[in-house]
Chains A and B, each alone.
Chain A
Amino acid sequence: MAETKQVIVKVKRQTGPKEAARWEEFSLKWRPSMNVIICLRDIAENPVTRDGKKTTPISYDSNCLEEICGSCAMLINGKARMACSALVDKLEQPIRVEPMSKFPLVRDLTVDRQFMFESLKRVKAWIPIDGHVQSWRRAACVARNSGKRLSAFELHYLRKLPGGLPASK
């Protein structure tokens, strides 16, 4: 019967960046549409290993749970992917779960991704939306140059934009 089907998950654990790593194995009750995040949550609800030892809930990051934010990325059966869309039924068991190896480890599956965000800032990895900000700025400059008094709201945003506050005539 499906009710008694078990899912075996092996998690690489490390209590801190300087501690030694170890593996823990868990046996969880199978449910339909189960993914790796659900496994980690089930472990947090009953943090006991397969051989009956009490342990701590596993530290991991997650947020949107719809494969957009990327915060639940980890190594699953050796492959870096997002845990929210890693379906248990499509994975070979025991499912091996490890932290991503290219980032400094914080604890268990949590890694410090700060340098990635810094790199994104360095290459300005975003798109100005439809030139909206620039066209708004141009319109505000024209208005100001023709003697119109801008609101505190407009002035505030103009100061923040590239180029800053345009000189008034």
Chain B
Amino acid sequence: MPRDIATRAIHRIVYQEKLGVDGQPAVFLDVTHIPRETLDRKLEGILEIYEKFCGVDPREEPMKVFPAMHYTMGGIWVNAEDQATSVAGIYAAGECEYQYHGANRLGANSLVSCIFGGGLAGTATVKYSKSLEKGAESTASGVFDLEKKRQQEKNQKLISQDGTENPITIWRELGDVMTEHVTVTRINKNLEMADGKIRTLQERYKKINLSDRTKWSNQTLNFARELENMIVLARVITRGALARNESRGAHYKPDFPDRDDANWLKTTRAKWVNNDVQLTYEPVDISLIKPRPRRYDAAK
């Protein structure tokens, strides 16, 4: 069973049919009919992990499972030559950047982006810094002071404001809405609803209360700063998915079940402008390998 098909089935059982185990996002994966010796020979490591974190022996009781997000195929825009981002002097390599994977990542291709991208970015960074006529030490201190002040003000505001919203609660709600509507099965009206919900979270974020006004090792402050970016990224993913009316790789819309190369053989590029997502597209390089339909029922 290919994992995208299995994943969609689990998603449907949980969210459309509301049949998750104990009302939770989980279904049973039962291997108890397989002899213990066979399980230990073939799956020992995986079953041990389950046993360790769930406290239940999966050889005796069915496992509770649910698909998890563990990789982002999109990411920071970089150029193909040397991994430079749109900010001069900042390079990105690895899972944080968008190249290589398209709409689905092939197994082991994350290493490509780490090793190859890292090699390019490393040499490019050295080259860039050597090409500069002046370094940080000759930059007017006012430049740094300005940014330092901006960040301090941001921190101070977060620490001192007397809001009513808890950052963990917002984070949890963001995760719930994204998991239900913006992962393995995407339906336009649900995506619009999710975008609306995320915008509400963005508003509620303005009223967060850290419950901690101290400045020493204040982890809630770090978390709140990250959360602000998570909300922006969630909007980017949702709006990009909403616009793309086709199915391609991990992006699956039951209302548009086929891949549409005529209209959508292109990469989504998002920009954050005036507190909103602006989408443009760039072509995909298919000069070396022509796209072909992805089929599970035929030999390659």
Q: Which residues of the other chain, B, contact A67 by a CB distance below 8 angstroms? A: 52-53
A33 touches B211 (CB 8 A): no
On whether A57 and B119 interact (CB within 8 A), knowing A33-B54, A41-B168, A156-B126, the answer reads: no
B219 interface residue (CB < 8 Å to A): yes
A133 interface residue (CB < 8 Å to B): no
Q: Name the residue on B nearest A160 (C-beta).
A: B122
Known interface pairs A56-B220, A153-B123, A156-B122; 10 further A-B residue pairs with C-beta atoms within 8 A, sorted by A's residue number:
A15-B214, A33-B53, A45-B166, A55-B211, A66-B53, A67-B52, A67-B53, A85-B53, A87-B53, A106-B217
Q: Which residues of the other chain, B, contact A47 by a CB distance below 8 angstroms? A: 211-212
Q: Name the residue on B nearest A57 (C-beta).
A: B220
A56 touches B212 (CB 8 A): yes
A85 touches B52 (CB 8 A): yes
* 30 A-B contacts (beta carbon < 8 Å): A15-B214, A16-B216, A16-B217, A33-B53, A35-B53, A44-B211, A44-B220, A45-B166, A45-B168, A45-B172, A55-B211, A56-B211, A56-B214, A57-B210, A57-B211, A57-B220, A59-B217, A67-B52, A67-B53, A85-B53, A89-B55, A106-B217, A107-B216, A152-B123, A152-B127, A153-B119, A153-B123, A156-B122, A156-B126, A157-B119
A22 interface residue (CB < 8 Å to B): no
Instruction: Give per-residue flags for B93-127: 1 if the beta carbon is below 8 A from chain A beta carbons, else 0.
Output: 00000000000000000000000000110110011
A81→B240 CA distance, assembly (Å)? 42
A110→B22 CA distance, assembly (Å)? 35
A106→B214 CA distance, assembly (Å)? 13
A46 interface residue (CB < 8 Å to B): yes
Instruction: Give per-residue flags for B47-69: 1 if the beta carbon is below 8 A from chain A beta carbons, else 0.
Output: 00100111100000000000000
Instruction: Give per-residue flags for B182-194: 1 if the beta carbon is below 8 A from chain A beta carbons, else 0.
Output: 0000000000000
Q: Name the residue on A nearest B21 (C-beta).
A: A32
B22 touches A32 (CB 8 A): yes
Q: Which residues of the other chain, B, contact A106 by a CB distance below 8 angstroms? A: 217
Q: Which residues of the other chain, B, contact A57 by a CB distance below 8 angstroms? A: 210-212, 219-220
A90 interface residue (CB < 8 Å to B): yes
Q: Name the residue on B nearest A152 (C-beta).
A: B123
Q: Which residues of B contact A (CB under 8 A)?
A: 22, 24, 49, 52-55, 119-120, 122-123, 126-127, 166, 168-169, 172, 210-212, 214, 216-220
Q: Taking the nearest CB of chain A, how far is it from the CB of B131, in angstroms?
A: 13
Shortest Cβ-Cβ A-B pairs, 4 listed: A107-B217, A45-B168, A56-B212, A87-B55
Q: Taking the nearest CB of chain A, how far is it from the CB of B160, in angstroms?
A: 14
A44→B123 CA distance, assembly (Å)? 42
A66 touches B212 (CB 8 A): no
Q: Which residues of the other chain, A, contact B210 by a CB distance below 8 angstroms? A: 57
A121 interface residue (CB < 8 Å to B): no
A53 interface residue (CB < 8 Å to B): no
Q: Which residues of the other chain, B, contact A33 by a CB distance below 8 angstroms? A: 53-55
Residues of A22-36 contacting chain B, CB below 8 A: 32-33, 35
A102 interface residue (CB < 8 Å to B): no
Residues of A1-58 contacting chain B, CB below 8 A: 15-16, 32-33, 35, 41, 44-47, 54-57
A90 touches B55 (CB 8 A): yes
**Which listed residue (A45, A66, A110, A153) contacts B217, Cβ 8 A?**
A110
A153→B214 CA distance, assembly (Å)? 47
B214 touches A44 (CB 8 A): no
A44 touches B52 (CB 8 A): no
